[in-house]
Amino acid sequence: MQLSMRSGSSEIQRIARERIRILFQRAEDVYPADPCLAERYVHLARRIAMRHRIRIPRELKRRFCRSCDAFMVPGYSSRVRVHRHKVIITCLRCKRQQRYPLVRRG
Amino acid sequence: MINQRNILRHELIGLPVMVMRASNPHHQGISGTVIDETRNMLRISTASGVKMIPKHPNTFRFTLPDGTMVDVDGSALVMSPEKRITLKTPNY
Give A96's pLDDT tier (boundaries 50, 70, 90).
Answer: very high
Element (H, E) at A24: helix A10-30
Q: Does the residue B40 lie in any domain?
A: yes
Residue B54, domain CATH = 2.30.30.210
Structural domain boundaries, residue B60: 16-76
Cα–Cα distance measured from residue A34 to residue A29, given in angstroms and rounded to the nearest whole number = 9
Which stretches does DSSP call E strand in chain B? 16-21, 31-37, 41-46, 49-54, 59-63, 69-73
CB–CB of B34/B42 below 8 Å? yes
Domain count, chain B: 1
- Chain A CB contacts of B11 under 8 Å are 18-19, 22-23
- Residues whose CB is less than 8 angstroms from the CB of residue A35 and which lie 6 or more positions away in sequence, other chains included: A70, A71, A77
State the pLDDT at residue B3. 80
Residue-wise pLDDT tens digits, A66-76: 999 999 999 98
- Chain B CB contacts of A40 under 8 Å are 36
Give the up-direction half-sphere exposure of residue B68: CA atoms within 13 A in the CB hemisphere. 11
State the pLDDT at residue A102. 87
- pLDDT tens sequence for chain B (92 residues): 888 888 888 899 999 999 998 999 999 989 999 999 999 999 999 999 999 999 988 999 999 988 888 899 988 889 899 888 887 765 55
pTM for the full model?
0.85
**What angle is formed at CA A32 by the lines to CA A75 and CA A39, rounded to 5 degrees?**
85
Is the four-CA dihedral B63, B67, B72, B78 of positive or negative sign?
negative
Q: Which domains does chain A have, with CATH numbers?
A: 2-101 (1.20.5.420)
Residue-wise pLDDT tens digits, A1-59: 444 444 456 788 888 999 999 999 999 999 999 999 999 999 999 999 999 888 999 88
State the pLDDT at residue A12. 83
Nearest-CA distance B4 → chain A (Å): 13
Task: Name the residue among B87, B85, B76, B70 with its Cα closest to residue B16.
Answer: B70
Element (H, E) at A99: strand A97-101
Nearest-CA distance A10 → chain B (Å): 11
Query: In the beta sheet, which residues pair with residue A63?
Result: none
